[in-house]
Amino acid sequence: MLVLGIESTCDETSASIVEDGKKVLSNIISSQVNEHLRWKGVVPELASRLHLEKIIPVIDEAVKESKVKLEDIDLFAAANRPGLIGGLLIGVSAAKSLAWKLNKPFIGINHIEAHLYSPHLENDIKFPYIGLLASGGHTLLIRAESFVKYEVLGTTIDDAVGEAFDKVAKYFDLGYPGGPSVEKSALSGDEKAFDFPIANLYKSERIYDMSYSGLKTAVIHHLKKFQKKESYTINDIAASFQKRAFDVLIKKVILACTNLNIKNIIVAGGVAANKYLREQFYKLEGYNIFFPSLKYSTDNGAMIAGFAFHKYKETGSDDLSVGVSSRVPGYKSSL
Ligand code: KG4
Ligand code: ZN
């Protein structure tokens, strides 16, 4: 089965053709990083205009590179939630139009579920597993039963981990996009230079929840309070922040694995591109740990097309009247 998957939830316009959920025939990504650079963050209106400009050339290129004919595609899929509304509308409209014109089914895909599918593109992973999704908008801990059946164990109660990276990078002018620039700066820093606090959400039903706004505030507004060395560099701040941010993620994943007696772990989402995070996870003994390769960590169409294959098998297609949504209920806890 050939699936064309479209991703346009944030600042990447991507289209990909994947065969049977696994064989990636093409994965074209047009990044808007250079256009948002001036603003040091994603400007939603600008993002929408760029998606509109790029969507057709990106789809054309994906079809061309895959060497399949557009008419031979069996299913058209697009991320329809969560994300920036303008981008979602453009990707979904493109997929629906193709499905309608070619008389093929359409399916709307949850971007977060697609991220969690990304390690499956290149690995055979047994269920159940504990999944950690760490991106710019979400931080989610799940227990997966099958490709489509999962339970949300915990979420961030405020900022997402990627958002904290982006804000720290912006404040200290480390570069844009934030995550990779903090990672780079941290490479030559001392992670023990600051002893930043982490939120202690270990009570009753909140044991798997996470919080990043306190850490972000400590780093940005109360730096001196947590200083452990006489003098420090910006790289020390980045390294200490990065360590603390990831300590929490690892701790919660292990807590879930221990309590639920699960040995398989997958980590996905843009933050999973971080090599330091990968190293920390790979150091853990007694677990099977799966990350997507770098090209499938940040937003891409292949994860949409790959996941759509399984979702379609379980639930069938969507009506062309299906809409888009900026949020998914239950993906962000609030106190
Ligand atoms: O999944 P993604 O591409 O888009 C969303 O769905 O949000 O994730 C983007 C997020 C951004 O916050 C970005 O700073 C972060 O992932 N990120 C990283 C790294 N690469 C991207 N965070 C830490 N280290 C990285 N190397
Ligand atoms: Zn994403």
Over residues 146-160, the pLDDT tens digits come to 999 999 999 999 999
Which pair of structure tokens corresponds to residue 193?
């230079």
Average pLDDT over residues 295-321: 98
301 lines ligand 1 (CB under 6 A): no
pLDDT for 21-51, tens place per residue? 999 999 999 999 999 999 989 999 999 999 9
Nearest-atom number in ligand 1 for the CA of 161 is 12
In whole angstroms, give the CA distance from residue 128 to residue 257.
10
Q: β-strand 106-110 against 75-81: which pairing, if any?
A: parallel
Chain Cα centroid distance, residue 132: 10
Label residue 129 by pLDDT band (50, 70, 90): very high
Average pLDDT over residues 295-318: 98
Q: Which ligand is nearest to the CA of 267?
A: 1
* C-alpha distance from residue 234 to each of 121, 190, 230 (Å): 37, 10, 14
Whole-number Å distance, alpha carbon 165 to ligand 1 midpoint, is 8
166 lines ligand 1 (CB under 6 A): yes
Residue 260 pLDDT: 98
Residue of 27, 32, 165 best suited for mutating to test ligand 1, as the one with most atoms within 8 Å of CB: 165
**Nearest of 163, 141, 168, 111 to residue 249 by alpha carbon:** 141
Whole-number Å distance, alpha carbon 112 to ligand 1 midpoint, is 13
Average pLDDT, the chain: 96
Label residue 174 by pLDDT band (50, 70, 90): very high
What string of DSSP letters covers 63-94?
Answer: HHHHT--GGG--EEEEEEESS-HHHHHHHHHH
What is the residue with the minimal CA distance to atom 2 of ligand 1? 270
136 lines ligand 1 (CB under 6 A): yes
Q: What is the pTM of this model?
A: 0.96
Label residue 333 by pLDDT band (50, 70, 90): confident
In whole angstroms, give the CA distance from residue 321 to residue 317.
12
Whole-number Å distance, alpha carbon 299 to ligand 2 midpoint, is 5
pLDDT for 62-72, tens place per residue? 999 999 999 99
**pLDDT above 60 for 335:** no
Nearest-atom number in ligand 1 for the CA of 135 is 8
Residue 334 pLDDT: 67
Amino acid letter for position 149: K
Label residue 199 by pLDDT band (50, 70, 90): confident
185 lines ligand 1 (CB under 6 A): no
